[in-house]
Amino acid sequence: NAGVTQTPKFQVLKTGQSMTLQCAQDMNHEYMSWYRQDPGMGLRLIHYSVGAGITDQGEVPNGYNVSRSTTEDFPLRLLSAAPSQTSVYFCASSYSDRVGETQYFGPGTRLLVL
């Protein structure tokens, strides 16, 4: 299994541009989520999904959209990029919503917004 994959690995955007960060997992996990990590800080939850067709907001959802049309894919869309969205973005998945289920993380996407 490839696990959780993310593309691109690195992206530079200009303010106002839009883009989609891709995330895919091949472990048939129901739960998927997006986090952002700012320098020297932990991860903050942006959006999450408990299954195909179901998404919900996390701690810092503003400026981001998500959709979950399939179990495997959970793309994150930046509608109009802002410098404050410069960060490293991690996608994660887990098998179920049982308490204590381990989350598996992708390698991250580094985003720079100029």
Partner 1 sequence: SQQGEEDPQALSIQEGENATMNCSYKTSINNLQWYRQNSGRGLVHLILIRSNEREKHSGRLRVTLDTSKKSSSLLITASRAADTASYFCATDGDNAGNMLTFGGGTRLMVKP
Binding site for partner 1 (CB under 8 A): 4, 31, 33, 35, 40-45, 48, 50, 56, 58-59, 90, 92, 94, 96-108
| Shorter beta-carbon distance to partner 1: residue 19 or 88 | 88
Contact by Cβ (8 Å): 24, 113: no
**Shortest distance in whole angstroms from residue 19 CB to partner 1:** 20
Q: How far apart are CA 112 and CA 15, in angstroms?
A: 10
Residue 51 pairs in a beta bridge with 54
The number of beta carbons lying within 10 Å of the beta carbon of residue 101 is 13
Of 32 and 78, the one with the shorter C-beta distance to partner 1 is 32
